[in-house]
């Protein structure tokens, strides 16, 4: 079994896709042992509670320094002894110490075909550039934001009448297939 801790900040639709995959026994023996959010109002916390997964809330606002929040978060995560840390819409810039601590066992999903468009507003940027395709990437987390070895990507065509909103919706949908597939792959490799 691969013990998974998922970090979220908001809606948690990718978390839901992972929960659904686990419930269908399609996560390669992966088990989500905790969901931690930096925002109390994150709807993803409710999704986790509905699935009887332990949840925690740790507010970054309670810490003066980024380093202190990350150190506290690291300790909370470590308490669950995870084999894999999954960032699913966790909207925080991570300190180097935090990244180093989990290097090789922390993954992220990003709404672009990395290395294109790290950071925010990826859909608008893809449109502005006149790209004919767009998509999502799952990658290992390294010290630079939205960089790190790519595990899987999924692409969609950009349609003539696409807006940033319609692109975002379609990318979100493919993420829900992509992330469980990538996590499953890692869990299967983790299982002797």
Residues assigned a catalytic role: 110
Q: Cα dist. 73→19, 27, 51, 67, 178 in Å?
A: 22, 25, 22, 10, 26
Number of continuous H segments (helices) and E segments (strands) in the chain: 6, 7
How far apart, in whole angstroms, are the C-alpha atoms of residue 82 and residue 105?
9
Among 28, 82, 89, 148, binds ligand GAR (CB under 6 A): 89
Among 4, 5, 14, 77, binds ligand GAR (CB under 6 A): 14
Contact status: 11 vs ligand GAR (CB under 6 A): yes
Among 22, 146, 158, 184, binds ligand GAR (CB under 6 A): 146
Contact status: 182 vs ligand GAR (CB under 6 A): no
How far apart, in whole angstroms, are the C-alpha atoms of residue 120 and residue 186?
27
Burial-class residue 110 by CB neighbours within 10 Å (0-12, 13-18, 19+).
buried
> What residues numbered 49-88 form the site for ligand GAR, per CB under 6 A?
88
Residue 101 CB, nearest distance to ligand GAR (Å)? 19
Q: Which is nearer to ligand GAR, 16 or 79 (by Cβ)?
A: 16
Binding site for ligand GAR (CB under 6 A): 10-14, 88-89, 109-111, 136, 146, 172, 175
């Amino acid at each position: 079994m691969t013990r998974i801790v998922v970090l979220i900040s908001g809606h948690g639709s990718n978390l839901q896709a992972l929960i659904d995959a686990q419930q269908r026994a399609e996560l390669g023996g992966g088990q989500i042992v905790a969901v931690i959010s930096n925002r109390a109002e994150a709807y993803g916390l409710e999704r986790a509670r509905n699935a009887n997964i332990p949840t925690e809330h740790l507010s970054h606002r309670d810490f003066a320094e980024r380093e202190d929040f990350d150190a506290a978060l690291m300790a909370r995560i470590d308490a669950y002894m995870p084999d894999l840390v999954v960032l699913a819409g966790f909207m925080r810039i991570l300190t180097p110490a935090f990244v180093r601590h989990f290097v090789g066992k922390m993954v992220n999903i990003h709404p672009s075909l990395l290395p294109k468009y790290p950071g925010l507003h990826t859909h608008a940027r893809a449109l502005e550039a006149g790209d004919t395709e767009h998509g999502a990437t799952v990658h290992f987390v390294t010290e630079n934001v939205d960089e790190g070895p790519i595990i899987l990507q999924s692409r969609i065509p950009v349609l003539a009448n696409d807006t940033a909103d319609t692109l975002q919706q379609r990318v979100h949908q493919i993420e829900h297939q992509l992330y469980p597939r990538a996590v499953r792959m890692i869990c299967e490799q983790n299982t002797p």
